[in-house]
């Protein structure tokens, strides 16, 4: 069982994101970095499948040299191999990202294809919602997004996708690609042994050329702050009557 999980290095969610003076990128000066949340669950999902069915997990990232940190983190929780596609420091558009990853996967599959490739549903920062789908098409493999449950049944990958009030089930033949979402699992923390092992991870660097696509960034900026006048209804349980008045006014009682 060969599984590939593609991850992205992103500023840690929850922090206030500042933009560089030229507006072309986020100001990383005071930010911590992490693996994009959906993809963190992708790594955990890949490790769980490996534990259940045997095999090996490769983690791939496209990004700056520092993104090696995210590959080592994945190794500390059980990934076997790390692959870095170094970028030139500019923000890649979705088409360029997907073309580079598809070329790298083709190179990595020289001996045998990955049974399963996992992507995050979308990255926490750019949120283009398309890289995994483009890679799947380039490789000629089926893909479904929004996945919160994966089962392997022989050559079939059974995937669960949350919908309003339940879930949909998809059945894809291997080799397949899935776009996974947070909620697939609760990612484990690294063990001391895992941390030590991750230091020894040999990261393979793959230089692949990919042409820019048709979407180009002009600038990043923060939305205008919505200034709202907060009406304080009270400072204790005695505010309940005022709250119910509001609910009545809105017609939700």
Site for other proteins, residues 25 to 44, rule: CB under 8 A: 26, 37-38
Interaction with other proteins in 179-238: which residues (CB under 8 A)? Answer: 181-183, 186, 213-223, 226, 228, 230-238
Contact 77, 190 (CB under 8 A): yes
What DSSP line would sit under 85-97, residue for residue? EE--SSPPPHHHH
Closest separation in Å from C-beta 64 to other proteins: 18
Closest separation in Å from C-beta 137 to other proteins: 4
Q: Which of 27, 65, 129, 196: binder of other proteins (CB under 8 A)?
A: 129
* Cα 204 to Cα 81: distance, rounded to the nearest angstrom: 8
- Count residues near other proteins (CB under 8 A): 82
Q: Comparing C-alpha atoms, which of 11, 100, 91 is closest to residue 60?
A: 100
Closest separation in Å from C-beta 179 to other proteins: 8
> Which CB atom, from 196 or from 233, has the smaller least distance to other proteins?
233
Q: Per CB under 8 A, which region of 55-63, 71-79, 81-89, 93-101 contacts other proteins?
A: 93-101
Contact 182, 147 (CB under 8 A): no
Contact 107, 114 (CB under 8 A): no
Q: Comparing C-alpha atoms, which of 8, 135, 126, 6 is closest to residue 63?
A: 8
* Cα 68 to Cα 83: distance, rounded to the nearest angstrom: 8
Q: Does 126 bind other proteins (CB under 8 A)?
A: yes
Q: Which of 21, 165, 199, 202: binder of other proteins (CB under 8 A)?
A: 165
| φ, ψ at 104 (rounded to 5°) | -65, -40
Interaction with other proteins in 53-82: which residues (CB under 8 A)? Answer: none
> Which CB atom, from 112 or from 253, has the smaller least distance to other proteins?
253
């Amino acid at each position: 069982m060969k599984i590939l999980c593609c991850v992205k290095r992103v500023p840690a969610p929850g922090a206030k994101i500042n933009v560089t003076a030229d507006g072309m990128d986020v100001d990383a000066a005071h930010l911590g970095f992490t693996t994009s949340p959906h993809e963190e669950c992708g790594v955990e999902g890949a490790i769980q499948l490996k534990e259940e069915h045997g095999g090996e997990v490769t983690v791939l990232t496209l990004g700056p040299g520092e993104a090696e940190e995210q590959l080592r983190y994945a190794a500390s929780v059980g990934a076997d191999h790390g692959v870095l596609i170094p970028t030139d420091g500019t923000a890649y558009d979705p088409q360029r990202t997907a073309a580079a990853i598809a070329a790298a996967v083709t190179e990595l599959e020289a001996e045998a294809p990955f049974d399963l490739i996992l992507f995050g549903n979308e990255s926490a920062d750019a949120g283009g919602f398309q890289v995994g789908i483009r890679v799947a098409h380039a490789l000629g493999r089926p893909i479904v997004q929004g996945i919160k449950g994966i089962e392997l049944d022989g050559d079939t990958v059974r995937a669960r996708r949350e919908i309003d009030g339940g879930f949909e089930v998809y059945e894809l033949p291997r080799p397949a690609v899935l776009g996974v979402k947070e909620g697939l699992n609760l990612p484990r923390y690294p063990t001391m042994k895992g941390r030590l092992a991750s230091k020894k991870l040999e990261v393979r660097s793959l230089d692949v050329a990919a042409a820019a696509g048709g979407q180009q960034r002009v600038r990043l900026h923060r939305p205008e702050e919505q200034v709202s006048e907060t009406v304080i209804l009270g400072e204790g349980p005695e505010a309940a009557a005022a709250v119910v008045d509001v609910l009545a006014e809105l017609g939700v009682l």
